[in-house]
Structure formats: C-alpha cells, structure tokens
C-alpha cells in the first residue's frame, strides 16, 4: 500500500516508521526544510513541498496513493490537504489529525476526511476502558452514524459468563466481532464461552446499545461515549 503523510515532524515520522516496518511504501511531505530528515528514515520517500497546494500534490503523485494522512500541527492545513486529496485526486482513504478539540466537528466527509484522529478523544477512551468494567464504551462511530464499534469488559457478575457464545441471542443487529482475552485478540467461536474479564468488541446500531449493555451487565448497564474517531474503516486499511 502506498501512503502519503503530510507533516514530517515527530508524529509524521513515527507513523511513517511504523508503516515502513509493516512493508508499506511511504512518502513524507513537509514545507519546512528543517523537517526533511531523510537520514532518519531512508526507506521512505521525502518531498520538500506544501501539501496544501495542488501543484505539490501533483508532484507527489498523490493520485497513486491508497491513503493520505494529514498529520501536521495545523488543523487548517490538515483539512485543506484532506479536501484536495479526496476531491481533486480521488484518494480512497484520508486520515486527518485533530490538534485542537474545538475543531473536531470540522473533520468529516464535507472536508474530505474519512477518519479523524483526536488525541484527547483517544486518551479519554483509554481511560474509560480502564475504569469502567461492566460499562459499554463507544469507541468509534462509522460513516454517517449508521453503526458504532463498542466495547465492554465483562464483569464477574454478568449473567453471560460461562454461557456458550452460539447460544447467546444478541439484540437487533448486534454482531460480536472479536474477543480480547489475556491480551490476545481472537475471533468468536460459537462453541466457546465468555469468561470474566473478556473484552468484547461489537458492531451495533446505536438503538441497540442499551439492550446490549443490559444483557451483558444488567446491574450497571452504563454506556460511556468515548469516540476515538469517525469514518468508514475498511479491513486492512488505516
């Protein structure tokens, strides 16, 4: 997969290093000459250019990229790059870094952003996940709000502990997509059982969240809204 990253600061370089290690082709773009440190990541391509200009994106061959990541420290620049990549070059996937929480509402499909990543949101979600055993935590909202990715750490007093997964009748269109047990993710096995402390990941419409929470943890039944991002995630992409 070919990925373009605007912003070659600490955040951009860290993302690039991870992607290169995973075998992806990476192009780092920055308009600041001091940010071009090709010796730190020689496996990546480097381009001194302004990612907010059409000519720069053409020079970068942005239309050949599968993903464009706007990771600068300027929200305005991240929005402009995302919009140009999506509308002018048809990049299939755009990811926008949100630096200031007050700007989160702008990072959506109107500005060409498929996935918005907000550090404050991410940190709050991790806190919620750590302290709310038995509460349903909303991690991510898919495109247009049709479905959410939610998580619950199963409490010991849940009526579902010890039950066969295939015998559980989930409400509505709820789908159990993964179980994290002892730090390892696994696909749900219909012949397997749920255990205390399992982290359960579901995809569900918001209308069924309350029923799901009551089913898994009727004494608590809380729902913590801690969105990590909004977008239309695809398997195998960022």
- Assess whether 7 and 49 both reside in one domain: yes
- 7 and 106 share a domain? yes
Profile the chain (238 residues) by mean pLDDT over runs of 10 residues: 95 93 95 94 96 96 96 96 97 94 92 87 60 74 75 91 94 93 90 94 91 85 46 33
Do 169 and 208 lie in one domain? The reply is: yes
Yes or no: say if 233 and 115 are a contact pair by the CB < 8 Å rule: yes
Residues 95 and 66 occupy one common structural domain? yes
> Which of 88, 113, 138 is where one domain is finished?
113
> In this structure, are 109 and 136 located in the same domain?
no
| Closest listed residue to residue 129, CA positions, set 201, 234, 71, 57 | 201
Domain boundary among 89, 113, 137: 113
Q: Is 225 within the bounds of a domain?
A: yes
Query: Looking at the structure, do residues 31 and 77 belong to the same domain, yes or no?
Result: yes
CB atoms within 10 A of CB 188: 16
**In a shared domain, residues 195 and 220:** yes
Output the CA torsion sign for 125, 13, 101, 140: negative
Same structural domain, 153 and 53: no
- pLDDT value at residue 135: 81
pLDDT score at 146: 74
Q: 66 with 156, same domain?
A: no
pLDDT at position 67 is 96
* Domain hosting residue 184, numbered range: 122-231
pLDDT at 143: 59
The domain total for the chain is 2
Residue 188 is part of a domain; what is its CATH number? Answer: 3.30.70.1450
Residue 17 lies in a domain: yes
In a domain, 236, yes or no: no
* Token pair for 48: 């001194």
Q: Can you give the CATH number for the domain in which 73 is found?
A: 3.40.50.720
Name the domain boundary from 113, 138, 155. 113
Instruction: Based on the fold, state whether residues 54 and 140 are members of the same structural domain.
Output: no
Asked whether residue 166 is assigned to any structural domain, the reply reads yes
Same domain, 109 and 128: no
Is 237 part of any domain?
Answer: no
> Given the structure tokens 């849940």, which residue do they identify?
158
Please tell me whether residue 194 adopts helix, strand or coil conformation. coil
């Amino acid at each position: 997969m070919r990925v373009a990253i605007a912003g070659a600061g600490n955040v951009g370089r860290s993302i690039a290093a991870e992607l290169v290690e995973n075998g992806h082709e990476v192009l780092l773009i920055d308009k600041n000459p001091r940010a071009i440190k090709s010796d730190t990541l020689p496996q990546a391509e480097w381009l001194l250019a302004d990612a907010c200009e059409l000519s720069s994106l053409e020079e970068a061959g942005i239309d050949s990229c599968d993903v464009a990541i706007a990771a600068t420290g300027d929200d305005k620049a991240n929005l402009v790059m995302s919009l140009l990549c999506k509308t002018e070059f048809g990049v299939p996937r755009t990811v926008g870094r949100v630096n200031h929480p007050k700007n989160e509402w702008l990072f959506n499909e109107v500005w060409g952003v498929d996935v918005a990543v907000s550090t404050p949101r991410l940190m709050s979600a991790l806190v919620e996940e750590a302290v709310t055993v038995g509460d349903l935590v909303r991690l991510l909202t898919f495109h247009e709000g049709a479905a959410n990715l939610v998580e619950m750490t199963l409490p010991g007093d849940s009526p579902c502990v010890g039950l066969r997964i295939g015998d559980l009748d989930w409400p509505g269109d709820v789908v159990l997509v993964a179980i994290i047990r002892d730090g390892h993710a696994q696909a749900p096995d219909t012949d397997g059982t749920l255990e205390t402390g399992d982290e359960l990941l579901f995809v569900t419409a918001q209308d069924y969240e309350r029923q799901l929470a009551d089913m898994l943890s009727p004494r608590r039944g809380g729902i913590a809204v801690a969105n990590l991002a909004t977008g239309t995630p695809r398997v195998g992409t960022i």
